Amino acid sequence: MTAGDIRSISVIGAGLMGHGIAQEFALAGFKVSLHDTSNEQLARAEENIGRNLAMLSGMGLAAGDAAATVRTHLSLGTDLEAAVSDADVVIEAAFEDLPLKQGIFKTIDRASPKHAILASNTSTLLPSALATATKRPEKVLVSHYFNPPYLLPLVELVRHDGTSDETVHVMFELLKKVGKTPVIVRKEAPGFIGNRLQAALFREALSIVEHGIASPADVDAVIKGGFGRRLAAAGVFEIWEIAGWDLILSICENLFPSLESTKSVSPVLKEKVKRGDLGTKTGRGFYEWTPDSIDALKKRIAAILVAIAQEQQGGAEPH
């Protein structure tokens, strides 16, 4: 099978990530089946897709008839076996629970065509642990999207030792076909690439707050107003190539010994969770939140991501 042979995509899980993944494939003209366990969740997914497409159309990142295109190509249902019965690719986007995902993989392995590729959008679990639930380990891999998937182009393709080169190649070409930027993680490791980098930054950020070096707001201000902007334009290796590795070596020799290296989770974070200060979902975390401030944050993030997408699109016609 080649990427050109793929006609039918199934997405299992219509929540935060799943509905956005289904939206993109449907918008690209694929037949897409979106599955969840409740009609209520599917209804929410349909509403979210409508809002996403209205925003993208308004920003010139999707054609004016995008909603009609998606409606034509997208079907929703609660029957898992029916959802994957004619799939060429199945992408699982269920809750991050290994037994749950293994159960799903066992079912979709049994119910989907033998040629189908089985992928997971997991951000933490290893593909080898999912492949053991199937009789086609060579066709199992992780395709890890970043949120929101319709605005962030990156997808990490994570193979395990048994994943075939053909499976990786087909998924790579399929993702490129729908406008994504796939990268191949050559060796499975917890957190893959993106979450390992994010976790390292977050560990240091927590340490800075814990030791009274700076407030959470000032840490965020440094990231947003400093190197975070630069990272939207160039990666860390590209940036340090400009600086010169002799300078970077000197900086690292002076700085690395004082960086946080604990393997334990920060007590600051544990205390937040213990008190129920979970962030926007409870109205308090490191910041105080109201419905208006939550909405403003989400809109600000979306607007900046849209602006970056428009800049990178470079005036190309909406897809």
90 φ, ψ (degrees, to nearest 5): -115, 130
pLDDT of residue 61: 84
For residues 169-190, give the mean pLDDT.
Answer: 96
pLDDT of residue 201: 97
pLDDT greater at residue 64 or residue 42: 42
pLDDT of residue 315: 45
For residues 67-91, give the mean pLDDT.
Answer: 96
pTM comes to 0.91
pLDDT of residue 314: 62
The answer to whether residues 207 and 260 touch, using CB atoms and an 8 Å cutoff, is yes
pLDDT over 60 (residue 71): yes
pLDDT of residue 58: 84
pLDDT greater at residue 64 or residue 197: 197
pLDDT greater at residue 309 or residue 249: 249
> How high does pLDDT run on average in the chain?
94
- pLDDT tens per residue, range 11-57: 999 999 999 999 999 999 999 999 999 999 999 999 999 999 998 88
Q: How far apart are CA 74 and CA 155, in angstroms?
A: 21
Q: Percent of the chain having pLDDT more than 90?
A: 88
pLDDT of residue 230: 94
pLDDT over 80 (residue 210): yes
For residues 293-301, give the mean pLDDT.
Answer: 92
- pLDDT tens per residue, range 138-163: 999 999 999 999 999 999 999 999 99
pLDDT of residue 312: 75
pLDDT over 80 (residue 318): no
For residues 258-279, give the mean pLDDT.
Answer: 96
The answer to whether residues 78 and 107 touch, using CB atoms and an 8 Å cutoff, is no
pLDDT of residue 89: 98
